[in-house]
Amino acid sequence: MELGRLGVWVSMDRMSAAAGAAFAKKVEAWGYSALWLPESRGRNALVHSSWLLANTQKLIVATGIANIYARDPMAMANGQRALAEQSDGRFVLGVGVSHRPMVEGLRGHNYGRPVATMRAYLRAMREAPYQATAPREPPLTVVAALGPRMMALSGELADGAHPYNTIPAHTAKAREILGSGKILAPEVWVLLETDPSTARRAAREALSHYLQLENYVNAWRGQGFSDADMAGGGNDRFIDAIVGWGDEAQIRKRIQEHWDAGADHVCIQPISASGGREVDERVLELLAPASRS
């Protein structure tokens, strides 16, 4: 599979099934190589991936990420194999440990040590039996990795990593850890807004939830941000580093910084000017690979 250089990362739970299929067709027509979708409190990510794959022709559908606490390793591995076979290789499985409040509070599971839990899970996926028709090629698995130990595991037992909420310097370090030949596909927030006050206000609103999650806060500390940088929704230095806002040229510059740092594939997540998760199609049309071919 050729994952391509530029994809789209969108939470689609607020879209109806029909609207989601129509949006996926737009992403495909715009020339993006992949559409990434998360799993949290809404649809089952594998079920929704099946729907999107059935409604597109060449678009890769990727989970960013499927929660390992939502299904056992055999269910995850065999769902992945089925989707890869049914779509002729257009499915990428991103897996992650999620966050303690979602795992223990919402699902009622014990939240294990992240790296050890993921290691055991990936090994069990590899060993899971599958008696249905196999895909033509082994399907790809990437891991939601932030810290160096999880990043190393992504290179050891998976096909690469899908970092989220990270900066170009993190991408450079991730490439160093992964080495060559492994997929590195960071998510990048983008906002088509040139007024600094408006852009930063929207970015703070979009990031507010993530600042309450210890995995991200710890990861940001590891990327050189202090607690003072993150206090009160994040200072300008923090916001400007995490979110690529501005005009087309400024946003393209941020994407290029991740490519230059070693990313194979960048998946952009658009923020609306209000700070909500509504998809701003203007920026997706503006950055569309098809418009530059």
Q: What is the pLDDT of residues 112-143, one digit of tens each?
A: 999 999 999 999 999 999 999 999 999 999 99
- 28-54, pLDDT tens digit by residue? 999 999 999 999 999 999 999 999 999
- 209-245, pLDDT tens digit by residue? 999 999 999 999 999 999 999 999 999 999 999 999 9
Report yes or no on 156 lying in a domain: yes
Question: Which pLDDT does position 101 carry in this prediction?
Answer: 87
What's the total number of domains in the chain? 1
Report yes or no on 237 lying in a domain: no
Domain hosting residue 138, numbered range: 6-191+246-292
Cβ atoms 157, 119 nearer than 8 A: yes
Report yes or no on 196 lying in a domain: no
The DSSP bridge partners found for residue 92 are 62, 140
Give the pLDDT band (50/70/90) at residue 69. Answer: very high
Instruction: For the chain, give the percent of residues with pLDDT over 90.
Output: 94
Q: What is the mean pLDDT of residues 75-87?
A: 98
Give the pLDDT band (50/70/90) at residue 202. Answer: very high
Asked if the model's pLDDT at residue 21 lies above 80, the reply is yes
Asked if the model's pLDDT at residue 293 lies above 70, the reply is no
Residue labelled with tokens 């607690």? 227
Report yes or no on 206 lying in a domain: no
Instruction: For the chain, give the percent of residues with pLDDT over 70.
Output: 100
Give the pLDDT band (50/70/90) at residue 291. Answer: confident
Give the pLDDT band (50/70/90) at residue 14. Answer: very high
Question: Which pLDDT does position 262 carry in this prediction?
Answer: 98
Quote the tokens at residue 250: 């400024």
Asked if the model's pLDDT at residue 278 lies above 90, the reply is no
Give the pLDDT band (50/70/90) at residue 106. Answer: confident
Report yes or no on 198 lying in a domain: no
How high is the mean pLDDT of the chain?
96
Asked if the model's pLDDT at residue 79 lies above 90, the reply is yes
Residue 136 sits in a domain of what CATH number? 3.20.20.30
Asked if the model's pLDDT at residue 164 lies above 80, the reply is yes
Report yes or no on 110 lying in a domain: yes
Asked if the model's pLDDT at residue 290 lies above 80, the reply is yes
Q: At what angle do helices 148-157 and 168-178 cross, to 10 degrees?
A: 50
Report yes or no on 238 lying in a domain: no
Report yes or no on 48 lying in a domain: yes
Cβ atoms 171, 259 nearer than 8 A: no
End-to-end CA distance of the chain: 21
